[in-house]
Chains A and B, each alone.
Chain A
Amino acid sequence: MAARSLNYVDQVDTDDPAAAAMAAGRTAERHVTALYEAHALSLARLALLVLGDPAAAEDVVQDAFLGLYRRWDRLSAPAAALPYLRASVLNGCRDAMRRRSRPGIVTEEQPLESAEAAVLHTEEHRAILAAVRRLPARQREAVVLRYYLDMTEEQAAKAMRVSRGTVKSATSRAIAKVGQMLKEGS
Chain B
Amino acid sequence: MSTLEDDIRDALRDEATRLRGVRPLRLQPAGPVGRQALPGRRQALPGRRQALPGRRQALPGRRRARWLRTWMPPLTAAAMVVALAISLVTAKSIRGEGGAPAVSPALGRYGIPRFYVTLPAPGLSGQPMRSLVVGDTFTGAKVATVAAPKGTQFTGVSAAGDGRTFVVEAMPAPRSAVPAVSAVRQGIHGPLTWYLLRIAPGTRAPARLTRVPISDRAQASPATGIWGFALSGSGRQLAVGLGTGGFNGPLALRVYSVATGQVTGSWPAAAGSLTAGLSGLTWVNGDSAVGFGASQPGSRPVSGVLGILFARVLDLRARGGDLLKDSRVAWSLEAPGPHGTWSYVGPLLGCGFPYLTPTASAVVCVATSWTNPPGGMAATTHWAAFPAAVPAQGRVTCRITFSVPGQSKAVAVPQIYWMSPSGDTLVSSDGATSRIGIVRHGTFTPLPVDGANPADGDLAL
Q: Is A77 an interface residue (CB 8 A)?
A: no
A105 contacts B22, C-beta separation under 8 Å: no
Collect the chain B residues with CB atoms within 8 Å of residue A116's CB.
18, 86, 89-90, 93
Q: Is the CB of B4 within 8 A of A48?
A: no
Q: Bound state CA distance, A166 and B202, in angstroms? A: 19
Instruction: Decide: B93 and A147 in contact? CB cutoff 8 A.
Output: no
B33 in contact with A149 (CB, 8 Å): no
- Bits for B72-88, please: 1 = Cβ < 8 Å to A, else 0: 00000000000000110
Complex: chain B residue closest to A73, CB-CB: B30
Number of A interface residues, CB 8 Å?
58
The total of interchain contacts (Cβ-Cβ below 8 angstroms) comes to: 142
A106, closest chain B residue (CB): B46
Quick check: is B23 within 8 A (CB to CB) of the other chain?
Answer: yes
Chain B residues near A148 (CB, 8 Å)? 9, 12-13, 16, 103
Interface size band for B: 35 or more
Q: What 1/0 mask marks residues of chain A from 113 to 127 whose CB sits below 8 Å from any chain B CB?
A: 011111111001100
Contact of A49 among B16, B22, B103 (CB under 8 A): B16
Q: Is the CB of B30 within 8 A of A66?
A: no
* Across-interface contacts of B125 in A (CB, < 8 A): none
A132 touches B49 (CB 8 A): no
Given contacts A105-B46, A132-B8, A150-B200, contact A59 B89 (CB under 8 A): no
Contact partner of B22 (CB less than 8 A), chosen from A40, A56, A115, A149, is: A40
Q: Which of B35-43, B244-252, B357-365 is the interface stretch?
A: B35-43
| Chain B residues within 8 Å of A57, by CB | 19
**Cα–Cα distance between A149 and B94 once the two chains are bound (Å):** 26
> Given A115-B87, A128-B8, A175-B4, are A69 and B27 also a contact pair (CB < 8 Å)?
yes
Residues in B neighbouring A175, C-beta threshold 8 A: 4-5, 8
Contacts of B8 in A (CB 8 A): 128, 132, 143, 147, 175, 178
B11 touching A125, Cβ below 8 Å: yes
Given A114-B18, A120-B98, A149 contacting B5 (CB threshold 8 A): no
B176 at interface (Cβ–Cβ under 8 A)? no
Q: Assess the B30–A70 pair: CB atoms within 8 A.
A: yes
Report A47-69 CB contacts with B as 1/0, cut-off 8 Å: 01100001011110111011101
A143 to B35, CA, bound (A): 30
- A interface: dominant SS: helix
- Kindly state whether residue B45 has any CB partner on chain A within 8 Å: yes
Q: Are B98 and A152 in contact (CB under 8 A)?
A: no
Q: List the B residue with the shortest CB-CB distance to A179.
A: B4
Known: A59-B42, A66-B27, A108-B46. A44 touches B22 (CB 8 A): yes
Among A28, A117, A128, A143, the one with the most B-chain Cβ atoms within 10 Å of its Cβ is: A128
Indicate if the CB atoms of A65 and B25 lie closer than 8 Å.
yes
Q: Is B374's beta carbon under 8 Å from chain A?
A: no
Chain A residues whose C-beta falls within 8 Å of the C-beta of B98 in the assembled complex: 119-120
Question: How near does chain A come to B196, taking the closest CB pair, in angstroms?
Answer: 14
Most A CB within 10 A of own CB, among B18, B93, B103, B104:
B18
A75 close to chain B: CB less than 8 A = no
Closest to B23 in A: A58
Contact of A62 among B38, B89, B90 (CB under 8 A): B38
Query: Please, how many angstroms separate the alpha-carbon atoms of A28 and B31 in the complex?
Result: 13
Neighbouring A residues of B10 by C-beta, 8 Å: 125
B317 contacts A by Cβ under 8 Å: no
The stretch from A9-17, A29-37, A157-165 touching chain B is A29-37
With a cutoff of 8 Å between Cβ atoms, the chain A residues found around residue B259 in the complex are 120
Instruction: Verify if A129 is at the interface (C-beta below 8 Å from B).
Output: yes
Decide yes or no whether A170 CB sits under 8 A from chain B: no
Q: A54-B18, A129-B11 are in contact. Are A25 and B30 (CB under 8 A)?
A: yes
**A–B Cβ pairs within 8 angstroms, 8 of them:** A25-B30, A45-B17, A59-B41, A62-B26, A106-B47, A117-B15, A129-B12, A147-B8
Known: A106-B49, A120-B93. 5 other contacts (CB 8 A): A33-B25, A46-B16, A59-B42, A107-B46, A150-B201
Interfacial residues, chain B to chain A (CB-CB below 8 A): 4-5, 7-19, 21-23, 25-28, 30, 33, 35, 38-39, 41-43, 45-47, 49-50, 86-87, 89-90, 93-94, 98, 103-104, 200-203, 259
